[in-house]
Structure formats: C-alpha cells, structure tokens
Structure 1
C-alpha cells in the first residue's frame, strides 16, 4: 500500500471519529437547549443531497474559493411543512496538501462550540462523488449579508446596492468578534486559537450580527495555562500575511496571535485600509501608520472615507458640538485599542476580557443621549 493510500485511510478513520463526536454533541445539545441546531434536523448529509442543494455545484452558486476548498450557496430541503434552508457548503480540495488536515481542524474546533458569534456546523459530508473520488464537505448556515470584507471594500462591479456601515454598526461587529474570541480562548476546557482571523472570515447574518468562521487553520492548545497562552508548535506557516505576527515558520501558536489579528481587524474596520495599501500609508505598516496619526493628532488622515463623511455631516448639521466630539472620541478610542492589540510584544497586547470591557465603554459612550 502506498503512503498516500495509508494517509487517506488514516484520515478517513479520523473523520469517522469526528462524525461520531458531532452527532453526539448535537444530540446532547438538543436535549439541553432547543435553540441549538441539531443533527436531528439535518442528519449527516449525502453527496447526492449536496448536488441537489447546490444545483450540481453550479458556478452561479460559487461564493468563493480558497486554498483548501470552494464555498457554494445551497438550499436544503426542509422537513414536512418547513421552508428550505439556505446554507453555505464548503467543498474541500482534497488533492491540495493539508486540505484533509484543514477539514479535521475545523470539525475538531467547532464540534463543541455553541457561542452565537461562532459560525456553527449544520452538518458534514464524508462520501464518494460521482467519479468515485473521496468527497468531503462542511455545511454551515448561509450568512445573508456576506463578509465584513465585502462591506469595508465592496466590489462596485458586483454589488448593485450601496454598502454602508455607520460607527455604531462597526463597534457592534467588533464587539461580536471579541466575544467569539473570548469564547475560543477562555470559555472551553482548552483554548482554541483561530490562527486566521481576518475581515473575510467575519460573516454577517440578516441582522448584521457577526459570526467568526473558517476554522481550517485552528489549533486546539494541549492544555490551558493560567493566562490562556500555552504555546504549541505552528507546524509551518499559519494565517494570512499581515494579520498574523507570530505564525511564521517555526514560531509558536498562542492566543496572543489571535489578539494581534483582532487588532489588525479593528484598525481596518476604522481606517478602511487594506493590508496591501502600503502606498497610501507612505510605506508604513498599519500599526505604525495609525500610531503616528494618533500621536500627531491627524485623525482625519486615517479614518475611513464613510466615517469621515459622517463626521462632516455631524459637524455641519448638529445643534451643538457634543455629538461630533463623542464620535471623534470613540474613533480615537477604537484606533488606540487596535494599536494596543498589535503591539510587537505579545505580552503587551490586551486580553479578550479587557477588549470587551473597553468596547462596551465605547459603545455606551457613543450611544449616550442619542
């Protein structure tokens, strides 16, 4: 037997174990909470059902494609008398190295997660396709409003309607993501490090509630330390360049790495800058660019165009200066938070509990007297 066949058999056995875990978890969840999606609603799904749901994985249903898989929009048949359920189907590219490992990591990371701000698995498929090849897919609830990335940087050639996020919506989204990270890092029996937190992995439902998804690079730490930062080997490159300060080859994965990625997310959400916009930042990294602006009181030089327009409107239409000043103070606080989370030294980055506390203070201050 060749090495490839042995690895495939080993992975298939591991997937069967994960499948049993998922079934066990969902049955327990159904007993404990009627609000939790259960496998009894959607049993482990067949390849034929996914073919039907996605119209044979039609290009018109393709939502996006990444290193380890392609994601399709689909409709699952509901139970008798129930409407169809919109889902997103992530089909793994099994010929891609580490794709199976990504599948396992995602199932392992999410099989016991129940937090409202984490994208939950509806069901999985481990089967054979119509060519007789191994087929694996993960099915999630479809997030109607797409990703945060699409709202921060809309494609005008695709999006017919104007996408707009006001300051309070941005704060709410950042708070949702902070709660998700806190659940991963602090609320389970062992910390889970996402390893690839970025705006395209923050998905928004119909109510604009944020859900953190794509756990294909997630790492479950071996044991919890008092500070939830027990390191583990990165096993090579992890994360997206620019978002991850610690996930280069040979570095150790800790929860501090997710905090850095979160800080980058905060800075992007308020500045509207892409990580590739170095020219508009005069060659500076995003952390240095914002930090310099804060020290030079050059806030308007770095704020997202939409937020800048909102500030101008407040300045010219308000009856007093309090509303404008409140918005400015909140933006400064958010940028300061982002800079704090992207400190080069991991120990200087804010823990999730402090991030949440700070965001609640910003939210309360922003909404005061509105």
Structure 2
C-alpha cells in the first residue's frame, strides 16, 4: 500500500520520497485528488535563508510565462502546515524523464537502466533550451534572466523535449529606456535587485569552460566530448571514422563546442546573443540530418 504525506493543500496528495533536493526546498512526486494527475510539488524549506524570497521571485516570474519549453506551473500554495508553521509550495506538471542531469550523470543505481542520449537528441535538447531563453530574453514583456541554468533545471518530457524550470533565482532585466512603469514591474528580482538589460551577461554567466576546451578546437574535439557520443555513433552508423561522414560529425561537434566557448567569453559584449545561438544550433542540426 502506498503511503502519502498530507500537505495543507486539499486537492493534493504527495507520495513519500523526493525527486530532488535543493538549497531552498525539495521536490516531491504528487497526485491531484481531482483527476489523479501526476504532478511535481516543490516544497520550500523556509528555514533556509532566502527561501521565501526565492518563492516570491519564482511566483512572479511564472505568473504570465507561457512557452512550450518552460515547465508549466499548475498552482501555488502559501498556507500554514499542520504544526502551525508557514508553508509554501509550487505545483508543476510532472516530467516523466526527469532532469537532463539524471541522463548525463546517472547515479550508480540508475547507470544500467538509463539510455544514453545520442548526438541528435542532445542537440534537440540544446535547441529547446535556447528557444526557452530566447522567449525569456526577447519575447516576454519584461526580459527575464534565469540565472540558474544547469542540467538539473532542464526537465525532459515523454518525447525527450526539454522544459526549463526552477525560476527561484530569476531576475527581471530593466530596459535602458527610462520607462518608470517598466522598471517598477521588474523590482521583484531575487537578491532584492533589478538587473540591467544585458542578456549576454546572463546566458552563461556561471559557466567557465576549461582551458582544454578552447585548446581542443577545432581538430581535437573527439578527445574531450562525452565518450558515450562517440560509442553511439560508432555502433549505429560508423560516423566517427576516417571518411566524409565522420569528418562532418567532427565538424558539427566542433561548431557546438565553439558556441559554448563564445557564450562564455569573459566580456559580456563579446558573448553570443541567444538568437544567434539558436540560429547556429539549428544550422548544425540540419547538417547532421543530412549525413
């Protein structure tokens, strides 16, 4: 018989056991009583400094966001638990294939059960993430910087389509137009600050590629890419070889790594805009599809 944790949310039951534990809280697998829909429930650890501010930032960021590559929020809860303590939670759609991190870095228990992502699948995921960022940076009323983009915050649905989640560190970017209404709307940013509208600053702000990645471009990329990609290509189509197809694959991998290096340039103005990233990733995908 399955056990449940009772939460101060009448429409929800949550199974024992967490999907993910983070700094500001834990994510549980839940079931809505109304239609038995499986959901993910992020319960904030309000004892952690900054958790309440993270909750407010995430609620504000998710209030009007609508994009197929963003995790859909179903509802939020701010209440009192059964012990009289403050309780805050967010309820999201459940992603059957969990996070990208669990695929790239499976635990020892998951190692034998997890399939490897091939090059095309990884590229599709990267494009999905780029689409989400393009929407946040260029197509939402107030540009938003995610500020915590990492494999653990990229979730995969049944078709391995990627959805970006966890907006607890999200930051609204004010424009330089001097529009006071625009600036007021963006004052909820986590850490209590409002960011200047510099999208390049926030695409790969926390990512610094190792020096060997730069040194490997363009002719030694096979020495640094995930060995699973090379093994998969050898097993399925023998693309990694001394022939035209192998050369094309190597060139595409070099182009992908070059994007990462360009996006993490030391100076913000030197980094690629997400629109250009998306355009280049699509071009690479088209080349691979023709091999």
| TM-score, normalising length: structure 1 | 0.68
Q: Choose which of 326, 330, 345 in structure 1 pairs with 2:248.
A: 326
Distance (whole Å) between structure 2 residues aligned to residue 303 and residue 209 of structure 1? 22
* 2:37 matches 1:76: no
Counterpart contact for 1:193–1:253, Cα < 8 Å: no
- Name the structure 2 match of 1:207: 159
The 3-state SS of whatever aligns with 1:309 is helix
Alignment map for 1:180-191 (pairs within 5 Å): 180-191=132-143
* 2:49 matches 1:49: no
Q: Choose which of 16, 22, 25 in structure 2 pairs with 1:66.
A: 22
Gaps of 5+ in 2: 1-6, 178-182
Counterpart contact for 1:315–1:324, Cα < 8 Å: no
**Aligned-pair CA distance for 1:323:** 2.5
Q: Choose which of 38, 46, 51 in structure 2 pairs with 1:86.
A: 38
Structure with the larger strand share: 2
Q: Choose which of 97, 100, 114 in structure 2 pairs with 1:162.
A: 114
**Aligned-pair CA distance for 1:220:** 1.1
Distance (whole Å) between structure 1 residues aligned to residue 241 and residue 51 of structure 2? 57
Distance (whole Å) between structure 2 residues aligned to residue 177 and residue 318 of structure 1? 27
Counterpart contact for 1:75–1:87, Cα < 8 Å: yes
Q: Choose which of 192, 207, 214 in structure 2 pairs with 1:291.
A: 214
**Aligned-pair CA distance for 1:364:** 0.5
**Aligned-pair CA distance for 1:319:** 11
Distance (whole Å) between structure 2 residues aligned to residue 66 and residue 195 of structure 1? 15
Counterpart contact for 1:287–1:342, Cα < 8 Å: no
Distance (whole Å) between structure 2 residues aligned to residue 317 and residue 304 of structure 1? 15
Alignment map for 1:161-240 (pairs within 5 Å): 161-223=113-175
The 3-state SS of whatever aligns with 1:365 is helix
Alignment map for 1:203-352 (pairs within 5 Å): 203-223=155-175, 254-261=198-205, 264=207, 286-294=209-217, 297-313=219-235, 316=238, 321-352=243-274
| Inter-CA distance 182–361: structure 2 relative to 1 (3 Å threshold) | same
Aligned-residue CA RMSD (Å): 3.0
**Aligned-pair CA distance for 1:191:** 0.6
| Inter-CA distance 192–98: structure 2 relative to 1 (3 Å threshold) | same
- Name the structure 1 match of 2:68: 116
- Name the structure 1 match of 2:3: none
Distance (whole Å) between structure 2 residues aligned to residue 170 and residue 118 of structure 1? 17
| Inter-CA distance 224–167: structure 2 relative to 1 (3 Å threshold) | farther
Query: Higher relative contact order at CA 8 Å, sep ≥6: structure 1 or structure 2?
Result: 2
Q: How many pairs were matched up?
A: 278
Gaps of 5+ in 1: 1-45, 239-250, 265-284
